[in-house]
Amino acid sequence: MVSSATVNSDNDLLNNCFTEYKSNISNLDGAWKGQSYDNFISQTDSFISEYNVITSQMSDFASACDLYEKYKITKSNILQTEANRDAAEDSEKYSYDETLRQLKNNLLSYKSNIESYLSSASSPSLSSTSISTGSTSSITSSDIPDGLIVSSKSGYVFPFANGVSAPVTSSLGPRNQPTAGASTNHKGTDIGVPEGTELHALSSGVVTNAGRDDAGGFGNWVRLELDDGNSVIYGHVSDSSFYNVGDRVNAGDVVALSGNEGISTGPHLHLQIEDPDGNLLNSEYLFEDCWPE
């Protein structure tokens, strides 16, 4: 990912080149000096001015990228801290509360500053410059492997291939505890599928967790940070070794195999989708236009 340090370093290097270039032009002599010379210098100055505007916007965007990396790490730390708190004895839980408060404050600060940088980077300072932010392009069938389904409502790839039966066994929200240790406020959607069913990336993104999660109850899981800022968790999986933390995945890639790991009542996928602020999104709503009958 581009960094502000790289952009600023490149900007300084090119500005030095421009300065030397203009100096060389000024030292030339000959009959052609006059209107042609003045026009050439004027065009060079105009180009440098436009270049400086563009690099300023690039620098703002790069600064947003720098903060986004910190934002992702902080979100991951919050999830781990919450899992540790849930697993701790009641008398120890308070020790995690201050850490969680600070992490969440940092998250809000990063989010605000990222939005500010992106707003500055996307301002149309030049008539020939057009930068859009805030959404990703819709996925088309040509972007994903054959046999997968793309929701026209959410733009996400359905996590199972076409033809896989995907009955909902537990919806998002309050529920009776299905087994000892299970949540009574369900954070995702449970989908009953046989062990070993391929699970596909809803969209392109980065793997932020992959492996054991006994403290959180999943036993084995994969978590993706999607390019649109949302995140998705695949819980209770039997195989999470397809990618390592930090790897990029494309929409439709197989990221895990379903299983029956952790606190589970039977083979299924726990599908949990969150927006950048940690709000839970309802998978049944996002895929209601394409969910198999």
| Structural domain includes residue 131 | no
**Looking at 125-134, 136-145, 239-248, which range is the least confident one?**
125-134
How far apart CA 210 and CA 9 sit, in angstroms, is: 35
With a cut of 80, say whether residue 45 has pLDDT above it: no
Final residue of a structural domain among 87, 121, 155: 121
CATH label of the domain that carries residue 225:
2.70.70.10
Final residue of a structural domain among 121, 152, 180: 121
| Structural domain includes residue 135 | no
* Average pLDDT, rounded, for the chain: 82
Are residue 61 and residue 155 in the same domain, yes or no?
no
**Nearest CA among 63, 65, 25 for reference residue 45:** 25
Are residue 53 and residue 185 in the same domain, yes or no?
no
**Could you read off the pLDDT of 55-89 as tens digits, one per residue?**
777 888 888 888 888 888 998 989 989 888 888 88
As given in the structure block, the two tokens for residue 93 are 């839980």
- Which residue(s) pair with 150 in the sheet? 157
Q: Phi and psi (nearest 5°) for 198?
A: -70, 135
With a cut of 90, say whether residue 189 has pLDDT above it: yes
Give, in order, the Cα–Cα distances in Å from 197 to each of 87, 99, 107, 256.
29, 38, 35, 8
Sequence-separated (6 or more) residues with CB below 8 Å from residue 25:
37, 40, 41, 44
Cβ atoms within 10 A of the Cβ of 128, count?
7
Domain containing 211 equals 141-286
**Could you read off the pLDDT of 145-166 as tens digits, one per residue?**
789 999 988 999 999 999 999 9
Higher pLDDT, 148 or 265: 148
Are residue 243 and residue 281 in the same domain, yes or no?
yes
Sequence-separated (6 or more) residues with CB below 8 Å from residue 42:
none
Q: Phi and psi (nearest 5°) for 185?
A: -125, 85
| Structural domain includes residue 170 | yes
As given in the structure block, the two tokens for residue 286 are 């996002």
Are residue 224 and residue 259 in the same domain, yes or no?
yes
Sequence-separated (6 or more) residues with CB below 8 Å from residue 77:
103
pTM, full prediction: 0.54
- The pLDDT-based confidence of 133 (bands split at 50, 70, 90) is very low
| Structural domain includes residue 91 | yes
Are residue 109 and residue 238 in the same domain, yes or no?
no
With a cut of 90, say whether residue 222 has pLDDT above it: yes
Are residue 117 and residue 206 in the same domain, yes or no?
no
Are residue 87 and residue 30 in the same domain, yes or no?
yes
Give me the pLDDT at residue 287, please. Answer: 93
| Structural domain includes residue 262 | yes
Q: What percent of the chain has pLDDT over 70?
A: 82
Are residue 153 and residue 281 in the same domain, yes or no?
yes
Q: What percent of the chain has pLDDT over 90?
A: 35
Total of domains in the chain: 2
| Structural domain includes residue 234 | yes
Are residue 116 and residue 49 in the same domain, yes or no?
yes
How far apart CA 192 and CA 266 sit, in angstroms, is: 8
With a cut of 70, say whether residue 96 has pLDDT above it: yes
**Nearest CA among 57, 38, 68 for reference residue 225:** 68
Are residue 64 and residue 113 in the same domain, yes or no?
yes
Counted residue by residue, the chain has a size of: 293
Residue 240: what residue type? S
Indicate the DSSP class of residue 221.
E
Are residue 145 and residue 269 in the same domain, yes or no?
yes
Final residue of a structural domain among 121, 154, 171: 121
How far apart CA 282 and CA 95 sit, in angstroms, is: 32
| Structural domain includes residue 215 | yes
**Looking at 180-194, 237-251, 253-267, which range is the least confident one?**
180-194
Residue 103: what residue type? L
Are residue 103 and residue 147 in the same domain, yes or no?
no
| Structural domain includes residue 134 | no
Give me the pLDDT at residue 183, please. Answer: 78
- Can you tell me the mean pLDDT for 104-117? 82
How far apart CA 273 and CA 172 sit, in angstroms, is: 10
Give me the pLDDT at residue 50, please. Answer: 74
